[in-house]
Structure 1
Amino acid sequence: MLTVGDPFPEFELTACVSLESGQEFRKINHKSYEGVWKVYFAWPADFTFVCPTEIAEFGRMQPEFAEREARVLGFSVDSEYVHHAWRRSHPHLRELPFPMMADVRRELSAALGILGEDGLAMRAAFLVDPRNEIQFAMVTPGNVGRNPREVLRVLDAARTDELCPCNWSPGEETLDAAALLAGA
């Protein structure tokens, strides 16, 4: 699995971006959101149980990511048409403010190292900086949903370029290495 310091792979995928007729799909690639932070998250499959809880929460939190000039992009190995059908049928997914990308050839999942033996993407999240370098990576078991708030906390910490202690939150003190070394 790719991890902190690795470049995020190049890709081009079709995404479900809307339920509006004629506006449903769009091509998205690794250059679509250059120069900003990105949160890529993968889920195993559409029409499942844990996945919509995470997807909906990333959707609800999208304004908080946008305040930090970060784009949220989700994907699974399902097609854009399956994403569209799921969005249309699931009340918590209808108004998603981010693309649901279709990795049907499993190329992005494989390049990231998150393609499971079952052919599905693992439940993974990657925080990618404006230089396209991975700054945070996590995978949870298929039956355990992620915490989008933790992804946001790590984004805040990574953007400080400071030393952030355990459980650090915005507004709290960061660590001063020189003072710590001096015993202050």
Structure 2
Amino acid sequence: MFGALSAARMASPMVRLASPAMARFAAPLACRSFGTLIGKQAPAFAAKACMPDNTFKMIDPSDYKGKYLVLYFYPGDFTFVCATETIEFHNKLEEFKKRGAEVLGCSVDSADVHKAWKNTAKTAGGLGTQINHPMISDNKHEISKAYQVLLDDAGVACRGVFIIDKEG
């Protein structure tokens, strides 16, 4: 039954429904196998992040050993859907913490751009609110590539959420 859901069959409807400009990005995503990370050690990284208090700090997932870590990727700051997603993670942060999980957001934008996005009013395209979880900068694209969410042609990460267990 699951064999019927081949990558080739999945790519076709996605490409058909996508706008012509996005079709070239949709097909590679539909064909990509994200299952290669399941059950494996999470890829290691160290990256600069904009912290909740607007300071900058180097983040390393090993700092979160003993806790679950929810690492979400999004294409970019100052975009509508990414703002909605980031604010929703912020709004649910206490629920994650009650379950022993920390949240990290990640895009290819710089930590300075993350800070600007947080501090810009919604009416001007910003988040317009305090975000109480770190926002990681992957401006070298190394983290997105390691987690297999990088769209090389566009130079951005596609949306992805990874739940990393207490052992990493």
**Fold shared per TM-score above 0.5:** yes
Partner Cα distance (1:26, 1:85) in 2: 16
Q: Deviations over 1:115-171 (max 9, x none)?
A: 003110111000111011xxxxxxxxxxxxxxxxxxxxxxxxxxxxxxxxxxxxxxx
Q: CA deviation at 1:19?
A: 4.6
Name stretches of at least 5 consecutive residues in structure 2 with no aligned partner.
1-33
Partner Cα distance (2:72, 2:128) in 1: 15
Partner residue, 1:160: none
> How many residue pairs are counted as aligned between the two chains?
129
SS at match of 1:98: coil
Partner residue, 2:64: 33
Partner residue, 1:111: 146
Question: Which one-letter code corresponds to 1:120 in the other structure?
Answer: V
Question: Which one-letter code corresponds to 1:98 in the other structure?
Answer: H
Cα 1:6–1:90 shift into 2, 3 Å? farther
Cα 1:19–1:35 shift into 2, 3 Å? closer
Partner Cα distance (1:4, 1:16) in 2: 28
Question: Which one-letter code corresponds to 2:144 in the other structure?
Answer: S
CA contact (8 A) 1:40 1:127 kept: yes
Partner residue, 1:11: 45
Larger helix fraction of residues: 2
Partner Cα distance (1:128, 1:50) in 2: 24
Q: CA deviation at 1:94?
A: 2.9
Which residue of 114, 136, 139 maps to 1:101?
Answer: 136
Partner residue, 2:19: none
With the length of structure 1 as denominator, give the TM-score of the two structures. 0.67
Which residue of 81, 101, 105 maps to 2:112?
Answer: 81
- Which deviates more from structure 2 when the two are superposed, residues 11-20 or residues 41-50? 11-20
Partner Cα distance (2:47, 2:143) in 1: 9
Partner residue, 2:157: 121
Name stretches of at least 5 consecutive residues in structure 1 with no aligned partner.
133-184
2:91 corresponds to 1:57: no
Question: Which one-letter code corresponds to 2:154 in the other structure?
Answer: D
Partner Cα distance (1:84, 1:44) in 2: 16
With the length of structure 2 as denominator, give the TM-score of the two structures. 0.73
What fraction of aligned residue pairs are identical, expressed as a percent? 37
Moved over 4 A (4+): none
Cα 1:90–1:6 shift into 2, 3 Å? farther
Give RMSD over aligned pairs: 1.4
SS at match of 2:114: helix
